[in-house]
Amino acid sequence: MIGIFDSGFGGLTIFGDIERQLPEYDYIYLGDNARAPYGNHSQELIYEYTRQAVDYLFNQGCDLIILACHTASAEALRKLQQEYLPKNWPGKNVLGVIRPIAEEAIRLSSGKKVAVIGTQSTIDSQSYIREIQHQDPSIAVIQQACPLLVPIIEEGQIQAPSTRQILRDYLESIKEAKPDVLILGCTHYGWLYDIINKLLGGQVQILDSGRIVAEKLADYLARHSDLVKKSLAEPQRIFLTTDDNKKFDRAAQKWLGREIKSQIIKLT
């Protein structure tokens, strides 16, 4: 079974693409909506919240977990992989989203200029700068923190006029820098893809994070076929949230195109 974890609704944009590409596996999706957004918390608290989610999903029978959250990937993944898993969950693994997306940005950036928008924590961590420039030091990376966007999306205010104005303000420095690739450095931002594309005049390649992560996961599973077994019966789809499950279900139906019934759980 594969677990997919995000601080809220945003990871559904990743889950949808993973499910379409790899429908033969069992999945548990966990959104910690009650404590979103993660991007405004300290690194220590982000790690602790992520560790709790990892423990919960492994205890539910997951063999592999995808951190479909840029903030958790930036602030918790390395410590989990290097310190926590070997001691507590040997033989299991957790993967993040930053490396595969950075690799795709490098591949597409003919002009050697990549922009990143993300939560305050993701931007402050400089994870994308490190990852991109480690692989290609010639690429310039422009960053912009967008701390208001996750609360806006979680509250369903995507189409509000104020949202477009907030986005316009956030993207001003990006437009001035004229990058050829834009990384949406938070899975929530996929809900704003069309608005961002229009505000940038369709002149910037905006990375489809879900497709990228799904393709990289398919490659990973092909190379580690013994880690996660394919379902022998009807594949399971379990959705969990730490907050209002009716609100979560409405968001999931909008993104996945089908009705789902999530369960409320508590992380400790």
The residues annotated with a catalytic role in the active site are 69, 186
Give the residues across from 2 on adjacent strands.
27, 64
Task: With beta carbons less than 8 A apart as the criterion, state whether 260 and 21 touch.
Answer: no
Query: 121 and 44 in contact (C-beta within 8 Å)?
Result: no
Q: Show the DSSP H helices in the chain as ranges.
A: 12-21, 43-59, 70-75, 77-79, 85-88, 98-108, 120-125, 127-135, 149-154, 161-177, 193-199, 209-223, 245-256
> Which tokens sit at 55?
């423990």
Angstrom distance (rounded) from CA 18 to CA 217 = 8
Contact in structure between 1 and 25 (CB atoms under 8 Å): yes
Q: Determine the Cα–Cα distance for residues 234 and 62; give it in Å rounded to an integer.
A: 17
Asked if 212 and 101 count as a contact pair (C-beta separation under 8 A), the reply is yes
Beta-carbon count within 10 A of 174 CB: 20
Cα gap 213→82, rounded to integer Å: 21
**First vs last Cα of the chain: how many Å apart?**
22
